[in-house]
Structure formats: structure tokens, C-alpha cells
Amino acid sequence: MRGRTVRYHGAAFTRPMKDSVRENLFNILGSACKGSVGFDLFAGTGAITFETLSRGASHVTAVEQSRQAVDFLKRTADELDVQNKVRLIGGDSFRLADRLLAAPENDTPWIVFLSPPYAMWEDDTTLESLNRIIRTTLVNAPPGSVLVAETERRFDVKRLPDAPWDFREYGNVRLCFTEPALVCGMNF
């Protein structure tokens, strides 16, 4: 979809990831998107959803609680002619994540994005819900999967679940990357 833009609606109900941060994110992910299944659990404007498709994901499930944002996402998917590659769900990611991130039937790698409002990382209740999503991903994601969480730089990363994290900072933004451990399924 090179050269085609995702328009930002400008409404206060979402906070889009800065273009420069998004560019760095996808440069780091590199070819990991190709053929992957994406999950954008706080989709907002859909920029991450549509960029993931542009980088070669087979399809992306985008979850967004705001009805206004979901309507905008649908229009954007239609304009970009990718409606057959995007599953848009209007709802609460915390309630839907266990079902969406259940153990898959195949080994297609996942790219899971957690880019919620920054205040959710600071509230103990929503932080535990975010961490539950991270733990579910780490347990169920196929080999080669990547989870990316976006936080403010001042967030205490020691509050994230134990995992081999790679942290990258861009101004006030921190991107947190981890890959599920490779687990051998053989019994001895």
C-alpha cells in the first residue's frame, strides 16, 4: 500500500502513534510481518493495523472500543480496499483477548500490538489486565511471534511480566518488544 495514506480523523477519542515512532517500529520488525497474523488490540486510528498489512501480514484483527473509531476504521479499510484482510471488532480488548489469543490451530506467527492509552499502564487494575494479555500471548503465540507494547518512557518496565524484553525509546515513547520462548513439544 506504499504511498497510500491513512487519514487521522483528529478526534480526541484516540491517540495515534507518531509517524517517526511507527516508522522505527516497523523497521525493527522488518520481515516479521510477512505472512504473519496481526492483532492490534487498541486499534485507535488503525495506522498500526494498516501498516502491518502493508508490510505483508496475511490479515489483522483490530479491536477498538470507541464506536466512532470503529466506523472510521471501516471507512479506511474500504478506501484502502483491504476489508477482506481486516477483522474489525468493536469491543473491550480486556474481555476479548483470551479468546482472540487462544492457542492457534496452526503455527503462523503473530504480531501483537498493545498501544493503549498511556494511563492504563499506570492504573494497577488495567496494568494487571494488560499484563494478562502479555502472559497469554507469551504462552499461546506460535514460534516467530512478536509482541510490541507502547508505553510512556517514564513507565516502570519492571512492572511488566518477566520476559526477554528489548526496549527502544523515542522521545517520550518507549517501545517494548518480546518474543515468546521457543518450547519443544517433545516428551521424553
21 occurs within a structural domain: no
172 occurs within a structural domain: yes
| pLDDT at residue 187, rounded to an integer | 45
Whole-number Å distance between alpha carbons of 105 and 84: 21
3-state DSSP of 154-167? CCCHHHCCCCCCEE
- Cell 507469551, located at residue: 138
DSSP 58-107: SEEEEEES-HHHHHHHHHHHHHTT-GGGEEEEES-HHHHHHHHTSPPSS-
The helix, strand and coil proportions of the chain, stated in percent and rounded to the nearest 5, come to 40, 20, 40
pLDDT in tens, 102-126: 999 999 999 999 999 999 999 999 9
75 occurs within a structural domain: yes
Which CATH number does the domain housing residue 165 bear?
A: 3.40.50.150
79 occurs within a structural domain: yes
Whole-number Å distance between alpha carbons of 132 and 114: 12
Q: How many CB atoms lie within 10 A of CB 90?
A: 16
134 occurs within a structural domain: yes
pLDDT in tens, 122-143: 999 999 999 999 999 999 999 9
- Mean of pLDDT values over 23-32: 94
Enumerate the β-bridge partners of residue 167: 176
Inter-residue contact 137 to 104 (CB < 8 Å): no
Query: Domain residues for 76?
Result: 40-111+128-178
| pLDDT at residue 188, rounded to an integer | 44
152 occurs within a structural domain: yes
**147 backbone dihedrals φ, ψ, rounded to 5°:** -115, 135
| pLDDT at residue 19, rounded to an integer | 84
188 occurs within a structural domain: no
Find all residues with CB under 8 Å of 78, minimum gap 6, and list them. none
The domain tally of the chain equals 1
The share of the chain scoring above pLDDT 70, in percent, equals 88
153 occurs within a structural domain: yes
Q: Which band of pLDDT confidence, cut at 50, 70 and 90, is reported for residue 20?
A: confident
